[in-house]
Amino acid sequence: MFRYVILRSLAMIPTLFLISVLVFFIIELPPGDYFESYVSELRALGESADLAEIDMLRERYGFDQPQVVRYFWWVGGMLHGDFGYSFEYRLPVNEVVGDRLWLTVLLSTVTILFTWIIAFPIGIYSATHKYSWGDYGLTFLGLIGIAVPNFMLALVMMYFANIWFGVSIGNLMDQQFLNEPMSWAKLSSILSHIWIPVVIIGTAGTAAMVRRLRANLLDELHKQYVTTARAKGLHPTKVLLKYPLRMALNFFISDIGSILPAMISGAEVTAIVLSLETTGPMLIRALQSQDMYLAGSFLMFLAFLTVIGVLISDIALTFLDPRIRLGKGSSK
């Protein structure tokens, strides 16, 4: 196992290198750069740009150098903890991300916990009460949850909240706490606002997990070892929890590779609709404006989390399911 972990960890290095190459050159594919887009936008608005400052920034960050040179400057900076400069916000990337990163992690973590807490009991109930009225009703609600996009649900909830209660359910905190340092009052405001985006963002994920858990658990419950355990007189709860549920969780462990980057990307479209102070809208804006260092740092961080998540899920699966083997001949 130790050798396997070491080999998989070493394999992350060339993987991340190739991803960094793709990220850099894909961001560079559109014609021009941020400075050209910025000057064009100012001219369209009838304003003038400080060309001297722009030339200084272009020279400082190597935009007058070939792409290959700029790529190695960018990668070398990230290896030293310098993620570059955000031209859109006129600040280092580390400072721009700031509170948005931990707010995104907080929102995503609570959403994941909400999804698990709701989906597991419903999925187990649907599988163990197959074709009952409860199963049909929960299946119908699950299909609705999957079919309705999160951003549409957000728009509907915002409309009815405004019509019925005359309040706005956007943002993750009251307006007076924006750009303010963390305090107990700000934390209380965040906790009072966070449950609405958690329910909206978690709806589709909960519905999808219920369907997948039900299907996997039903498949395990019809296998021979379950029939044998029941014939031996084991308690139904023990029969369910000992092996079938454990085997049905393989998909759940495999999803860790996508859960970790999702914690940072933060449901971008829904975040825009609800005006959430998360990293999702910032990432989209950075891609639109060709803010290379900000967008590239985000994408590389997401890639790093994906690679780490896949490694964790692979290791966890070997412990969860004894049928999974690391060697070709170990299943003999």
Instruction: Give me the pLDDT at residue 143, please.
Output: 87
In 3D space, the residue among 150, 148, 122, 119 whose CA is nearest the CA of residue 262 turns out to be 150
What is the biggest distance separating any 2 CA atoms in the chain, rounded to whole angstroms?
Answer: 83
Give per-residue pLDDT as tens, 269-292: 888 888 887 888 888 888 877 788
pTM, two decimals, is 0.77
Question: Across the strands, what pairs with 92?
Answer: 85
CA 14 to chain centre: 23
Give per-residue pLDDT as tens, 94-136: 888 877 778 888 888 888 888 888 988 998 999 888 889 988 9
In 3D space, the residue among 264, 301, 298, 302 whose CA is nearest the CA of residue 27 turns out to be 298
CA separation for the pair 245, 240 (Å, rounded):
6
Give per-residue pLDDT as tens, 159-204: 888 788 776 777 888 877 777 777 888 888 888 888 888 888 888 8
Return residue ranges of the chain for CATH 1.10.3720.10. 102-320
Burial of 100 per CB tally in 10 Å (0-12, 13-18, 19+): buried
The confidence band for 18, taking pLDDT boundaries of 50, 70 and 90, is: very high
The answer to whether residue 325 scores a pLDDT higher than 60 is no
Mean pLDDT of 243-253: 79
- Among the four given CATH numbers 1.10.3720.10, 3.40.50.1860, 2.60.40.10, 1.25.40.420, the one describing domain 102-320: 1.10.3720.10
Per the CB < 8 A criterion, the answer to whether 19 and 300 are in contact is: yes
Per the CB < 8 A criterion, the answer to whether 313 and 8 are in contact is: no
The confidence band for 257, taking pLDDT boundaries of 50, 70 and 90, is: low
Q: What percent of the chain has pLDDT over 70?
A: 92
Residue-averaged pLDDT of the chain: 80
